[in-house]
Structure 1
């Protein structure tokens, strides 16, 4: 029985009674950014309600290493424990918030806030949350297609590659403005690759049959969107067209009688080619 109690204590499921045993600490909640860019500043907050009881101490940890403490009865009330890569802005840190600056990728991890009420209860609550320190470029993904014109029934193949980042960016396909999901008709494959300096990049291939259902008036807009949390959003787009013979209308306007045979042929070719014009369009969505 003692062994079970010790295990429950280690898991945090059972707390020893302290003081009067009255729980005066409520509403403890941690607010940590889901992701921040390397080099940026992050504000970590710990909300709590002591119900008119005094605060004994606030402690902040990364994993199990304490890096900041606030004790209102001490002078100064704030204390920083130096840790490699963790830079605390003491002027912007207090009993409820701690501000970190110059974050580095290796500071990704779980951050914990420990709140303790003063005597007689010394009631303690701990909350934790994951923060990811990201790295990404200010560039669009790379979109490649086999060709710009497709006949109906052909297999349309495209590939999109994200730029190296940490972690790897997510890639999403769009056809004519609508998001595309993998199915029996549409084959999508995604692979995450390792890059130098422990960065990663994603490749996503798309394959489907060119049909009248995906070509609108002989055209198809294919777009690849790369995202990384809410910090990075870049897109690359290409316009494809249906490669079907377009003949000049039989009842169309006749060429002026004075045109030579060569001019008449050139005019007919212009009419044919005007129906299918493909251009690669690059765009950045911020």
Structure 2
């Protein structure tokens, strides 16, 4: 029985010394919540969410590119330790153990961020997944659509080009015909163009160009109808469930589908009345009579 008492004392020591992990630690989660896109010179709140009892939380650390930007340690005086953040300023008034507010974000503030929580008893720490934050410049106007022919027949190809407004990063363009997304195989991405004349605080802005070659035969169209063509310009290329698009602009133009008469398969036939036919026949008969009389007098 003496050995059982020693084991109990050992387990009690291990529990209070905090050198062993409890089974429940596998259920601990931690996540860095922050916007994916922030407009240049705006602010962003980074929160380190977790399911640990706040009273058990010993330390919280925020990282950018594996470099510390803020550390909180319970019981220290002062409890916060701040580090230099490239391209942003930390708001000291809004600082808390599990959140920081970055203000006046510059382009260099873009990059991967993460956070870590730690417990003292038992000893345990866990790091969140990487969260990418991007500083953007929004588009100032709608994309521009150019149509090669604004009057087409239902058997023609619809040819058009679309160009986005300058922005950062380069906007993504999506075509819609009558509010239906166009298949990517019918779109020719021309590429992006760096606009050195258009820049934002030293950052060159980018424009995206694309062209469309769409067969109208794939649509259920009738002559003298119209087709709506929409170019959607977004940052990023897809919308998240929580945030949607960070920036979106669109433009719609209308094309007329006209009736074109079919080309005739044969030459037109001139209809002559029966009276005209009789007059012409009499004239021919008189000419033949004169010709026969003339030949008779010559040879006989």
Q: What TM-score do you get using the length of structure 2 for normalisation?
A: 0.68
Gaps of 5+ in 1: 1-17, 247-286
Residue 57 (structure 1) shift = 1.6
Q: Which residue of 1 aligns with 2:272?
A: none
Task: State which of 202, 206, 213 in structure 2 corresponds to 1:207.
Answer: 213
Q: 1:29-50 CA distances to partner (integer Å, 9 max, x unpaired)? A: 2212122211111111111233
Q: For residues 177 and 54 of structure 1, what CA distance do their matches in structure 2 show? A: 54
Q: Which residue of 2 aligns with 1:77?
A: 79
SS in 2 for 1:233: strand
Residue 66 (structure 1) shift = 1.1
Cα contact 2:87–2:107 (8 A) shared by 1: no
The 3 A distance-change label for structure 1 pair 65 and 157 is: same
Q: Which residue of 2 aligns with 1:221?
A: 228
The 3 A distance-change label for structure 1 pair 114 and 191 is: farther
- Whichever of the two has the greater Rg, that structure is 2
* Number of residue pairs matched by the alignment: 225
Q: 1:237-261 CA distances to partner (integer Å, 9 max, x unpaired)? A: 1111023359xxxxxxxxxxxxxxx
Q: For residues 146 and 32 of structure 1, what CA distance do their matches in structure 2 show? A: 44
Q: For residues 33 and 52 of structure 1, what CA distance do their matches in structure 2 show? A: 24
Q: For residues 204 and 82 of structure 1, what CA distance do their matches in structure 2 show? A: 42
Instruction: Give the 5 Å matches for 1:254-269.
Output: none
Q: Which residue of 1 aligns with 2:4?
A: none
Q: Which residue of 2 aligns with 1:165?
A: 167
SS in 1 for 2:248: strand
The 3 A distance-change label for structure 1 pair 60 and 192 is: farther
Q: Which residue of 2 aligns with 1:66?
A: 68
SS in 1 for 2:187: strand
The 3 A distance-change label for structure 1 pair 241 and 89 is: same
Q: What TM-score do you get using the length of structure 1 for normalisation?
A: 0.71
Q: For residues 114 and 52 of structure 1, what CA distance do their matches in structure 2 show? A: 14
Q: What RMSD in Å do the two structures reach over aligned CA positions?
A: 2.3
The 3 A distance-change label for structure 1 pair 137 and 115 is: same
More helix by share: 2
Gaps of 5+ in 2: 1-16, 197-202, 237-244, 262-300
Q: For residues 134 and 52 of structure 1, what CA distance do their matches in structure 2 show? A: 35
Q: 1:189-226 CA distances to partner (integer Å, 9 max, x unpaired)? A: 12431413343322121102344836455211111111
Residue 188 (structure 1) shift = 0.7
Q: Which residue of 1 aligns with 2:126?
A: 125
Instruction: Give the 5 Å matches for 1:90-239.
Output: 90-118=92-120, 120-127=121-128, 128-183=130-185, 187-195=186-194, 196=196, 197-211=203-217, 213=219, 215=221, 217-229=224-236, 230-239=245-254
Residue 19 (structure 1) shift = 4.1
